[in-house]
Structure 1
């Protein structure tokens, strides 16, 4: 019995053998790999194009442009101009650079449209700009559609009951040509022809007295928009 037991223990049973998959070893990319070369070329091209774009952007120069429509005689404040970066063609210099502070306190010698580059020659000391602000009262209907910066001719008709009403030359006459509108100040009471609106104008210094006298003598003042419209489209008294 013991022999059989030992014999049984000595029997070697065959085991099933399964194929064990072997993992592939990753190969390092070779410089001869075409895909690697194409990738490197693409990276180099992208870097070159990016560098050129940055260099092109660096060639732009900061300048000032007008924030709103401006009128000759306006004083410059910190909110009058804003900065833009532009690349101007050769021979297009003469504009106000924005890498310097805003010239607060300077006065404009010409009209500017909103978004227009500011010529350096458009600025001067306030004492050298020969206009003053004067407020006149006119028919409300004459100011309909009137905007800041627009140019108007100013006509005056003496008061029929005032001094000089019986003079031969006391009819309506042109007092100012192409005066710049600074502001529509306020509307006064009344209806129809009785309604009045106050308009602030830039008046050449030499004509301020005549305008003030017309206002003080209750003369009828009428403003007529100059053909051509907004600021900068017409020359004139300012």
Structure 2
């Protein structure tokens, strides 16, 4: 008896528009094209914005020569200082701007708009390594005891003002300064100024305490 012949090999069929695999392939190609077009469009959709080299503190002059122009993609360029706008004449920083940050338009103004004032205070030289321009410190105060006799003892220590900005740290050149002491200039909000000046005039003991996580070199 003759052996049954093997089934004929299946013939290749031309894909049909009804084939779901063809539809999925078309969708993938279309998605790839759209994604590539979006990436190219957004990569070229950048603007020039000013960025700082060094930190700016309130009252610091702002000049174009001290800033860097960078190409960035930002949702609202009107929020930042741009070369198209230019740097206003006699412009100063009205609030702190960190190094390498884009310069917000709200941080640029005139001296009359600066709402802080510099105050110089003695500080332990051992803490100088933890501070730099733009660092933040707390000021703690111990007021003299009005009932004390002779060298007045101090009362309980309490927070005077918190998280104030450091403007400068330099050697204390006063005649009464010790070798382990430096002067730190801090920027005090105008509203807090009377309380700080009252403490200074009352010969209170004001201690400068750096906030953690800042410069250590």
TM range (shorter): 0.5 to 0.7
The correspondence of residues 89-108 of structure 1 with structure 2, limited to 5 A, is: 89=74, 91-93=75-77, 94-108=79-93
Q: Deviations over 1:76-121 (max 9, x none)?
A: 23267423141425x2412111134322433434322222111112
Instruction: Pick which of 62-71 and 197-206 moved more.
Output: 62-71
Alpha-carbon distance between aligned partners in 1 of 2:142 and 2:195, rounded to the nearest angstrom: 12
The correspondence of residues 9-48 of structure 1 with structure 2, limited to 5 A, is: none
Alignment correspondent of 1:136: 121
Q: Which has the higher strand share?
A: 2
Give ranges in structure 2 of 5+ residues lacking alignment: 1-42
Q: Number of aligned pairs? A: 167
Alignment correspondent of 1:190: 178
The one of 73, 76, 83 aligned to 2:68: 83
Contact 1:64 1:97 in 2 (8 A): yes
Q: Deviations over 1:177-225 (max 9, x none)?
A: 000000003235434xxx3211101001122222223333432221111
The list of structure 1 runs, each at least 4 consecutive aligned residues, that deviate by more than 6 angstroms after superposition, is: none
Structure number, greater radius of gyration:
1
Tell me the CA shift for residue 156 of structure 1.
1.5
Alpha-carbon distance between aligned partners in 2 of 1:208 and 1:80, rounded to the nearest angstrom: 33
2:197 equivalent to 1:212:
yes
Contact 2:62 2:93 in 1 (8 A): no
Alignment correspondent of 1:54: none
Tell me the CA shift for residue 58 of structure 1.
9.1
Alpha-carbon distance between aligned partners in 1 of 2:212 and 2:130, rounded to the nearest angstrom: 13
Alpha-carbon distance between aligned partners in 1 of 2:110 and 2:144, rounded to the nearest angstrom: 38
